[in-house]
Amino acid sequence: MKYNYKLILFVICVLPGIVACSDVATPTNDVTVLPKDCRLSVNEQLPLALNGLVPPNAVIRWEASAGSIVSAPPGLNALFVAPAQPAIVTISISISSGTPSLQIPIERQCIVTTKDGTLPQPTPENTLPSQDAQVIPVVNAQPTVIISEVMANPCGGIDVKKWNEYVELYNYSNQPVDVGGWWLADIGESGPSDQLVSWSQRNPTTSLSGNLILNSTIIPAKGFALILSPSYAEGLYPYTMPYHFLDNTVILTAAESHSLGDDLSSLVGDGPGRDILALYKGGPSVIQEIVSTYGTPKLGHYVSDLRDDYLDSLPLDVHECSSAERITPTEADRADNWREIANGSPGEAPYP
């Protein structure tokens, strides 16, 4: 009987796919982070990428023990911005998948030197992640909703732009996504973040022309939603509701504020007033999860931590009556993935 018991255990352990009795190598165990030589100077940027077989529908999270790191869906790539001081930074990646159920942690270290190449001093703070190290919230691979267009410089003077600014969202997945209760933040001079609600919830007696979805916050698969200013329908001639929206476009707005973005200058994108944007889950002040960004902002756990790093040409300095449109929906928020669109294209884009 004792012999038979050992035999049963042996069969269970050697049969593939039944029980993991030891560390059995799988394709996902071989995922690495490129480039292999992660060395850069203070304040420099370095693109990182996962190399290997990642499970389908995986949720990928990137974190850095210092500096900042941002990844956009599907999360296979990230942009690491080195801190202002030399350090040995730990980059942590978590890959979670339910098909099959896996939780794969990956870590690697990046050496950040001074501009003249001086290495960080080998202190305990450099060899192990500091308890005070800032862990930056990153863009999650799910849900698959992005900021796809920003009309931050509409036609008209500064006193009328607030009516016709908009932010376009695109859901590039094959499943609908409910964005109700999410938040839109910028780095304007005043005013809280905007919580997203349906147009009808904020403006129950104000209708918009066209066959639009006004009473829902669910963005269909491969569908668009527009975040309009709550005062969009109140604009004065000739700036009254100038856009034509395609049928079945979801119309969202802010739950409480009088305009999008900060209440002083809205999202105005001309010249030095250009604002970065962050679509996130959380509350009016605290960021729990970044969903998408515009302008490659420096991120933090609080809305007040949002900053423009000024390391690239984003946000775009677009001309009057023009918007900034993301070129490829699944690519990161970076300068070469945005273009200027004259007169904007709310609710439509040349996406597959």
What letter would DSSP give residue 339? E
Please state, in angstroms and rounded to a whole number, the distance separating the CA atoms of residues 315 and 227. Answer: 18
Handedness of CA 247, 250, 253, 255 (dihedral sign): positive
Q: Which pTM value belongs to this model? A: 0.63
User: Any long-range contacts for 340-345 (C-beta under 8 Å, 24+ apart)?
Assistant: 340/316, 341/149, 344/149, 344/151, 344/154, 344/166, 344/243, 345/149
166 and 233 part of one domain: yes
Please state, in angstroms and rounded to a whole number, the distance separating the CA atoms of residues 185 and 340. Answer: 22
306 and 172 part of one domain: yes
95 and 175 part of one domain: no
51 and 186 part of one domain: no
Domain-embedded: residue 9? no
306 and 161 part of one domain: yes
68 and 196 part of one domain: no
87 and 183 part of one domain: no
Place of tokens 């403006």: 203
Which residue type occupies 351?
Y
Domain-embedded: residue 35? yes
97 and 168 part of one domain: no
Please, what are the averages of pLDDT over each run of 10 residues along the chain (352 residues)?
A: 38 34 41 84 87 80 85 82 86 73 70 78 43 44 82 85 92 93 80 89 92 95 96 89 94 90 65 77 88 89 83 88 94 92 95 88
pLDDT at 339: 96
Q: How far apart are the first and last CA of the chain?
A: 63
Choose the final residue of a domain: 95, 114, 133: 114
- Residue 349, token pair as written in the block: 């884009």
Q: Which residues is 91 bridged to in the sheet?
A: 64, 108
Which residue type occupies 73?
P
Choose the final residue of a domain: 65, 97, 114: 114
pLDDT at 7: 34
107 and 242 part of one domain: no
261 and 307 part of one domain: yes
As a residue count, the chain comes to 352
pLDDT at 139: 46
Domain-embedded: residue 125? no
Domain-embedded: residue 185? yes
Strands 250-254 and 287-294: unpaired
pLDDT at 95: 83
| Pick from 135, 159, 308, 292: nearest CA to 225 | 292
| Pick from 135, 134, 217: nearest CA to 183 | 217
Domain count across the chain: 2
* Structural domain boundaries enclosing 69: 29-114
Domain-embedded: residue 278? yes
CATH of the domain at 107: 2.60.40.1080
Domain-embedded: residue 6? no
pLDDT at 1: 44
pLDDT at 180: 94
pLDDT at 187: 75
Domain-embedded: residue 123? no
99 and 155 part of one domain: no
Domain-embedded: residue 129? no
Choose the final residue of a domain: 73, 91, 114: 114
186 and 324 part of one domain: yes
pLDDT at 269: 60
